[in-house]
């Protein structure tokens, strides 16, 4: 029995310029599919975007045939070959957006989690057993138990009752054995006068460290008040009204700019912090996790940067004797890892031959392997094999001179003087230089041009084959 080319059971209602179609006595779910054409009874149909129920359709475009109510209609059934071609086109479009390629270029490993760092750019981050143990907790209470937090984690702060103490200038009282106040110290104030125990400005000073914080060293129990009205436990004064170096009661060490320097506020500069919620122990400028200011932070496990604008700006630049050769930039929504590709620095030869790209891809297949040190299974390439095919695919390793980077032999030794000139063992100031092994490496991004050229050729072939199929079916 031949497949019907149209469906017209029941009646249909649709408003002028509408996209919602309501059926009466229809059974659309089992008979109609997205891509069929509603309204062929008017001569030309509108593509159906979705079949919502047996009596409800949604059109992809506005209905141009005029309003009709419980009237006869016709739906043209789209042939399966046309559906297949459209589905193939959509699939190819999805496959070329870079997301799958970005994931495919990653080397999987234990306790690693893939994530996107930008459009079509992916990376791996640590996903430790501790993190997994926290994520599988059912609620916040279970998470606190996993983290080892006690009941204090859910208490409010305050100055009395069942609260966490607020350590401020005011006396806080609980029970008689839980009394908190300012503490007691004895010292000499900034004018070398003796003050009674408990006074908030007790200090020892060397030189004059008055309210302007200039030309002196002061150590305070509760700080001195500098020109910016901030309390400092240790201040080394500068030549102006702002201390050049300050140690705050929180443990933060600030290296502050002089107020007399044009365009630089006293609170800008660099500082060290023993602990920071932004994970940076050394900060230059004013680091902000919301991008409110400009700064750079260096911590024990990461480097953080922030810019105060949403346009494209550099967070990191890489230079060599040829000038800038790369960097890391951010825009309003993404991060880019930039390699120098300025056309003004290039002499283009022509379009790269896709056959050469395909030959390289075939000659350097992806292989699975296990790492000798850990036994972990992985998939990827071998740098030596890739380098033999094209030095562009891998970075050369092996035994090298750690000073010059030149190839050397295992066990190689030479001697240099304090100025870096060759000398002999035993000479005054002679420094021993020994060969060091540099691991071979693979830059996954270097393979993109070859994949791009091969993919372009494949897309041309797909277009050619689709045209031939259409001609044969026509």
The answer to whether 255 and 271 have CB atoms below 8 angstroms apart is yes
Mean of pLDDT values over 4-14: 89
Distance CA 9, CA 249 (A): 83
Mean of pLDDT values over 102-131: 86
Give backbone dihedrals phi and psi of 366, rounded to 5 degrees, phi first. -70, 135
Find, among 280, 283, 244, 278, the residue nearest to 261 by Cα. 244
Per-residue model confidence (pLDDT) at position 73:
94
Mean of pLDDT values over 166-172: 54
Give the per-residue SS3 of 115-160. EEEECCEEEEEECCHHHHHHHCCCCHHHHHHHHCCCHHHHCCEECC
The tens digit of pLDDT for each residue in 233-267 reads 455 554 444 445 666 656 666 666 544 444 444 44
* Measured CA distances, 351 to 96, 389, 427, 449 (Å): 20, 20, 57, 11
The DSSP-derived string for 92-108 is HHHHTSSHHHHHHTS--
Lowest mean pLDDT among 25-34, 95-104, 127-136, 452-461: 95-104
The tens digit of pLDDT for each residue in 361-378 reads 999 999 999 999 999 999
pLDDT class of 320 with cuts at 50, 70, 90: confident
Mean of pLDDT values over 83-97: 68
**Helix (H) or strand (E) run with residue 451 in it:** helix 448-473
Per-residue model confidence (pLDDT) at position 132:
86
Check if CATH label 1.10.3470 holds for domain 354-459. Answer: no
Distance CA 252, CA 245 (A): 10
Distance CA 243, CA 209 (A): 9
Distance CA 257, CA 223 (A): 20
Distance CA 344, CA 204 (A): 63
48: left (phi over 0), alpha (psi -120 to 50) or beta: beta
The answer to whether 277 and 270 have CB atoms below 8 angstroms apart is no
In the chain, where the domains are located: 6-80, 99-148, 295-343, 354-459
| Higher pLDDT pick, 269 / 425 | 425
Which CATH number is correct for 6-80, 2.40.50, 2.170.150, 2.40.30, 3.90.1070?
2.40.30
Can you list the positions of beta strands (E) in 212-366?
Answer: 216-225, 231-237, 243-247, 253-256, 269-272, 282-285, 295-298, 303-306, 313-320, 323-330, 335-339
Distance CA 361, CA 372 (A): 26
């Amino acid at each position: 029995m031949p497949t019907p080319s149209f469906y017209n059971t029941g009646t249909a209602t649709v408003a002028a310029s509408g996209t919602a179609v309501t059926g009466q006595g229809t059974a659309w779910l089992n008979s109609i599919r997205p891509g069929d054409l509603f309204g062929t009874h008017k001569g030309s149909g509108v593509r159906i975007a979705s079949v919502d129920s047996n009596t409800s359709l949604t059109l992809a475009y506005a209905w141009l045939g005029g309003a009709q109510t419980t009237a006869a209609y016709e739906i043209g059934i789209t042939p399966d070959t046309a559906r297949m071609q459209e589905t193939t086109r959509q699939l190819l479009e999805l496959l070329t957006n870079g997301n799958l390629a970005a994931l495919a270029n990653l080397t999987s490993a234990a306790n690693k989690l893939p994530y996107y760092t930008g459009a079509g750019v992916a990376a791996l981050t640590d996903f430790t057993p501790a993190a997994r143990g926290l994520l599988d907790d059912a609620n916040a209470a279970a998470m606190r138990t996993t983290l080892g937090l006690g009941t204090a984690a859910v208490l409010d702060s305050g100055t009395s009752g069942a609260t966490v103490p607020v350590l401020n200038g005011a006396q806080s009282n609980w029970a008689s054995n839980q009394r908190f106040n300012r503490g007691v110290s004895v010292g000499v104030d900034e004018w070398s006068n003796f003050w009674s125990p408990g006074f908030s400005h007790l200090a020892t000073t060397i030189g004059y460290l008055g309210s302007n914080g200039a030309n002196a060293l002061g150590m305070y129990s509760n700080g001195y008040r500098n020109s910016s009205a901030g309390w400092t436990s240790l201040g080394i004064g500068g030549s102006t009204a702002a201390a050049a170096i300050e140690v705050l009661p929180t443990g933060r060490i600030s290296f502050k700019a002089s107020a007399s320097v044009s365009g630089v506020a006293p609170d800008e500069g660099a500082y060290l912090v023993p602990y920071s919620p932004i994970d940076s122990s050394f900060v230059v400028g004013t680091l902000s996790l919301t991008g409110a200011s400009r700064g750079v932070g260096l911590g024990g496990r990461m480097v953080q940067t922030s810019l105060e604008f949403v346009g494209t700006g550099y967070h990191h630049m890489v230079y060599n004797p040829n000038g800038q050769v790369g960097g890391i930039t951010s825009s309003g929504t993404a991060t880019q890892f930039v390699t120098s590709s300025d056309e003004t620095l290039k002499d283009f030869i022509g379009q790269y031959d896709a056959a050469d790209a395909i030959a390289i891809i075939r000659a350097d297949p992806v292989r699975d392997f296990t790492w000798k040190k850990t036994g972990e299974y992985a998939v990827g390439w071998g740098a030596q094999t890739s380098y033999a095919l094209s030095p562009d695919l891998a970075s050369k390793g092996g035994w090298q001179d750690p000073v010059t980077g030149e190839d050397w032999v295992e066990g190689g030794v030479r001697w240099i003087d304090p100025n870096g000139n060759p000398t002999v063992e035993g000479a005054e100031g002679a420094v021993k230089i020994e060969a060091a092994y540099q691991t071979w490496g693979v830059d996954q991004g270097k393979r993109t041009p070859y994949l791009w050229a091969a993919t372009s050729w494949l897309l041309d072939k797909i277009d050619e084959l689709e045209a031939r199929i259409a001609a044969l079916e026509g």
